[in-house]
Amino acid sequence: MSPITVSPTSVTSIENANTVRKLIDEVWNRGQFALVDMMYTPDFINHDPASSVEARGPESVKQSAMQYRQAFPDLHLKVEDTISDGDHVVTRWTSSGTHLGDLQGIAPTGLRTTSTGITIARFVDGKIAEEWANWDTLGLMRQLGVFK
């Protein structure tokens, strides 16, 4: 795993970065969806240009993680870089998985895919209150044969 870059050094910054790493490892990689409630504020907001709706609350995170883990049962996110500063954590990640289940109406292809992205998380009292995600959705769709 890559090192965590923290500036300025503070216990809170390190704890926030560790929460994001735990989220990726336990929720996204292992499917431990119950942990989401402990990591997100009740009024959490997710900003993702790939989504047609602004997701709100921890339940939206669980639904998203479940959807992708059902479509890609071997889904694995690898943390490439983590930068933490005060109440913000920036994570650059790579995801990989085999498309074996329905993904928003896209029938399983059996294809192995890889995508990259960056997520910025804003923390309040040790929990994620807001996220901005930007990832290669078009690249994923091309790999699945939706676009050429």
pTM score above 0.95: no
In a domain, 77, yes or no: yes
Q: Residue 97 has which token pair?
A: 């998985």
The domain tally of the chain equals 1
Write the DSSP symbol of residue 143: H
pLDDT in tens, the chain (148 residues): 566 555 555 668 889 999 999 999 999 999 999 999 999 999 999 998 887 677 899 999 999 999 999 999 999 999 999 999 989 999 999 999 999 999 999 999 999 999 999 999 999 999 999 999 999 999 999 999 998 7
In a domain, 115, yes or no: yes
Q: Could you tell me if residue 31 is inside a domain?
A: yes
Residue 112 tokens read as: 């192995």
CATH code at position 98: 3.10.450.50
CA angle 51, 57, 58 (to 5 degrees): 100
88 domain-assigned: yes
25 and 75 Cβ atoms separated by less than 8 Å: no
| Domain range enclosing 81 | 4-143
